[in-house]
Structures are given as C-alpha cells and as structure tokens.
C-alpha cells in the first residue's frame, strides 16, 4: 500500500469511527497547503475531514473554543462533528465538520457590484467577530493567549524571522524592519485583544444563496487587535487586485467596518503590519520551496518599508497642521 492509499485508509477508519458507516463518496481536496483535507458525503450530507500535519498547529483546543465563542455571539460557523489531537488512529489529530452551504467567494466570478456587496457584508460580520474579547495576545489554544502585550508577541515573531531568514534578508535590514514594526506596534497597546480570523481572503468566505456570508477555516485564529486582522485582509488584497481595485475595495471595507478604537489611525499600523506579513510570507515561500514567490516578496519588502515611512510622515504632518 503506497502513502496515498495508507492515508485514505486512515481517513476511512476515522469516518467509520464517528459515523458508524462508510462514505457515499470521498475525495482528497487538491492544493491544500498546510493540512490534508478530504471531502466526503454520508447519507447525502457533505462534510470535511482535515488531517493535521503538525502536533503544535493549530493549537490544541483552539477550534472548539473559537466555534463555541462564535456560536455564543450568534455568528455563523461550521458545525463541528469531531475534533481530536491525540487519537491513536492519527496522532497529529484531525477535525471533521459539516460543509457550510454555499460557494467559496474565490470560486465565483463576481462583478464589481457583487464584489462590493461582499466586502460590505464582510465588514459587518468582522465588526461583530472583533467584539469577542480574548485574554492576552497571540496564540490562543484553549482560549487564553500567552503574551501579556501585543509588542511581546511581535518581538517573538521577529526572533523567529532572525533564525529562519538569514539567507534571504540581511541582518542589518532585518534589524531595521524589526525596530520600525515594534516601534509602531507599541503605540497601539491600548487596543483590546479580540478574536481574529488570521487568514482573511476570498477563499475563506462562503457566499450563501441568500446573499449572506460565512467565514471558514479558523486554523490561523489568534488573539490580536482588530487592526492586525484587517491588515492581513488588506495585505491579501494588495497581492490579488490591481491598484485601482485595491483602493476601492479597501475603502468599501473600512467605510463599513464599525469600531470605536482608533479607526483614523489604521493606515500607520496597517503598513507596519504589512512588513511583518511580507516576512511571514517570505518564510512560507522558503518552506514550500517556491523561488518565484520568494523573489516576489524580497522585492516587495523594500517598497512596503518606503510606504511605511511616507505614510507616517504624512500622518504626523496632518496632526501638526491640525
């Protein structure tokens, strides 16, 4: 039995354990980067099974905690059927959840008006998600994050970059980037720690037949401030839209996003976060062995640093003039 057949047999054993029967149909989802994902049906109902490839990520207990908090706040989330991080069948753990009705937004050809409505809906829903407070910052595990401050979390993240990006970014450049990002992040310590999705993009938005949306794939959920989550979204937008589209959809989202926490100061935090996100994706490109992706983010890094300097200067000038 080859590796693929052995994995499929493991999946079938897990399904039999929880459903007491075989599947009507089953198939492995292609291009799933971080985990192995299988789609299957039982008695006509559709489900996902995710085999985790790491014992440490996503953190033990995180998904049940996140789904519980979403449900408590009347926010849509997938129906969790089974979750284990220490099963003898597959020791890294797995998740089974009911497939949400609808279609992922990245699989639909949306016109300008439809895409506008999508970001209005996303802004409204994310405003509610970010109303869910989390204790501390960073990785949340069973519900309590492990960093006392946002700065402490990002400082550890840059230590990770120091160790892993030595061949991609010079030590001097990385030090300058770290100082710039941490200097900015520290100014936003007054913002509360909230539930963040951590991977906002169209592939993780389900568009339902009634026009409503649901967020899926909460594996990257974290406790950060609202600006970090929205900055991750706008970073994705920058990579996937042309300049005009990016400006339009970013503005539409922010116009419809509701918060009482320093919305006018978002752009400074956003650009500092984009430096962090670029380094994170640079590290990911090395992990998957994509030289093309690595080259893109290396060149992108310089431009985003210059943008951060310019935006902060403009912001300071406007405050002085006021």
How many folded domains does the chain comprise? Answer: 3
pLDDT one-digit tens code per residue, 197-254: 999 999 999 999 888 999 999 999 999 999 999 999 999 999 999 999 999 999 999 9
Cα 120 from Cα 104, distance rounded (Å): 16
Looking at the structure, tell me whether residues 10 and 37 fall in a common domain: yes
Q: Is residue 183 part of a domain?
A: yes
Looking at the structure, tell me whether residues 74 and 124 fall in a common domain: no
- The confidence score (pLDDT) of residue 143 equals 85
Task: Identify the weakest region by mean pLDDT among 35-39, 71-75, 108-112, 291-295.
Answer: 291-295
Looking at the structure, tell me whether residues 137 and 176 fall in a common domain: no
Q: Is residue 231 part of a domain?
A: no
Looking at the structure, tell me whether residues 155 and 285 fall in a common domain: yes
As a whole-number percent, the residues of the chain with pLDDT over 90 amount to: 74
Q: Is residue 319 part of a domain?
A: yes
Q: Is residue 242 part of a domain?
A: no
Looking at the structure, tell me whether residues 94 and 115 fall in a common domain: no
Residue 64 pLDDT grade (very low, low, confident, very high; cuts 50, 70, 90): very high
* Top-confidence residue, 231 or 163: 231
Q: Is residue 241 part of a domain?
A: no
pTM value is: 0.91
Looking at the structure, tell me whether residues 158 and 302 fall in a common domain: yes
Looking at the structure, tell me whether residues 76 and 47 fall in a common domain: yes
pLDDT at 315 over 90: no
CA–CA distances in Å: residue 289 to residues 34, 49, 285, 295: 14, 26, 6, 11
pLDDT at 280 over 90: yes
Would you say 238 and 109 are in contact if contact means Cβ atoms under 8 Å apart? no
As a whole-number percent, the residues of the chain with pLDDT over 70 amount to: 94
pLDDT at 105 over 80: yes
Residue 289 pLDDT grade (very low, low, confident, very high; cuts 50, 70, 90): confident
- The confidence score (pLDDT) of residue 303 equals 76
What domain range is 294 assigned to?
Answer: 150-188+258-322
Q: 58: cis peptide before it, omega within 30°?
A: yes
- The confidence score (pLDDT) of residue 300 equals 86
Looking at the structure, tell me whether residues 83 and 206 fall in a common domain: no
Task: Identify the weakest region by mean pLDDT among 62-71, 100-109, 284-293.
Answer: 284-293
Q: Which of 98, 123, 139 is the last residue of a domain?
A: 98
* Top-confidence residue, 86 or 127: 127
Looking at the structure, tell me whether residues 33 and 52 fall in a common domain: yes
Residue 261 pLDDT grade (very low, low, confident, very high; cuts 50, 70, 90): very high
pLDDT at 7 over 60: yes
- The confidence score (pLDDT) of residue 305 equals 66
Would you say 84 and 32 are in contact if contact means Cβ atoms under 8 Å apart? no
Q: Is residue 121 part of a domain?
A: yes
Looking at the structure, tell me whether residues 162 and 37 fall in a common domain: no
Would you say 43 and 24 are in contact if contact means Cβ atoms under 8 Å apart? yes
* Top-confidence residue, 320 or 48: 48
CA–CA distances in Å: residue 106 to residues 66, 118, 206: 24, 11, 9
CATH code for the domain in which residue 205 is found: 1.10.510.10
pLDDT one-digit tens code per residue, 12-28: 999 999 999 999 999 99
Q: Is residue 73 part of a domain?
A: yes
Looking at the structure, tell me whether residues 125 and 142 fall in a common domain: yes
Q: Is residue 310 part of a domain?
A: yes
pLDDT one-digit tens code per residue, 175-190: 989 999 999 999 999 9
Residue recorded with tokens 């419809």:
256
Would you say 182 and 155 are in contact if contact means Cβ atoms under 8 Å apart? yes
What DSSP assignment string belongs to 107-172?
Answer: GS---HHHHHHHHHHHHHHHHHHTTSB-BSBB--TTTB-SBSSHHHHHHHHHHHHHHH-TTTS-HH
Looking at the structure, tell me whether residues 317 and 281 fall in a common domain: yes
CATH code for the domain in which residue 43 is found: 3.30.200.20
């Amino acid at each position: 039995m080859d590796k693929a057949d052995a994995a499929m047999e493991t999946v079938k054993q897990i399904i039999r354990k929880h459903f007491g029967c075989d599947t009507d149909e089953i198939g492995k989802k292609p291009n799933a980067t971080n985990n192995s994902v299988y789609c299957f049906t039982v008695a006509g109902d559709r489900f996902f099974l995710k085999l985790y490839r790491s014992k440490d990520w996503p953190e033990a207990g995180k998904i049940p905690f996140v789904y519980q908090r979403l449900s408590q706040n009347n926010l849509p989330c997938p129906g969790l059927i089974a979750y284990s991080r220490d099963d003898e069948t597959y020791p890294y753990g797995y998740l089974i959840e009911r497939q949400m009705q609808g279609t992922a937004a990245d699989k639909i050809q949306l016109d300008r008006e439809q895409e506008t409505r999508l970001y209005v809906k996303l802004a409204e829903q994310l405003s509610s998600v970010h109303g869910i407070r989390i204790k501390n910052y960073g990785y949340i595990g069973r519900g309590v994050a492990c960093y006392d401050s946002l700065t402490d979390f990002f400082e550890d993240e840059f230590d990770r970059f120091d160790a892993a990006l030595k061949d991609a970014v010079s030590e001097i450049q990385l030090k300058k980037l770290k100082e710039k990002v941490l200097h900015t992040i520290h100014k936003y310590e007054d913002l509360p720690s909230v539930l963040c999705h951590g991977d906002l993009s169209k592939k993780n938005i389900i568009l339902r037949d009634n026009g409503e949306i649901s967020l899926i794939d909460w594996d990257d959920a974290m406790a950060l401030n609202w600006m970090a989550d929205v900055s991750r979204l706008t970073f994705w937008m920058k990579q996937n839209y042309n300049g005009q589209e990016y400006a339009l959809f970013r503005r539409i989202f922010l116009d419809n996003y509701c918060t009482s926490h320093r919305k006018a100061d978002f752009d400074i935090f956003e650009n500092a976060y984009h430096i962090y996100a670029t380094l994170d994706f640079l590290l990911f490109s090395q992990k998957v062995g994509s030289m093309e992706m690595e080259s893109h983010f290396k060149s992108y890094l310089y431009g985003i640093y210059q943008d951060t300097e310019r935006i902060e200067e403009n912001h300071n000038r406007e405050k002085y003039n006021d």
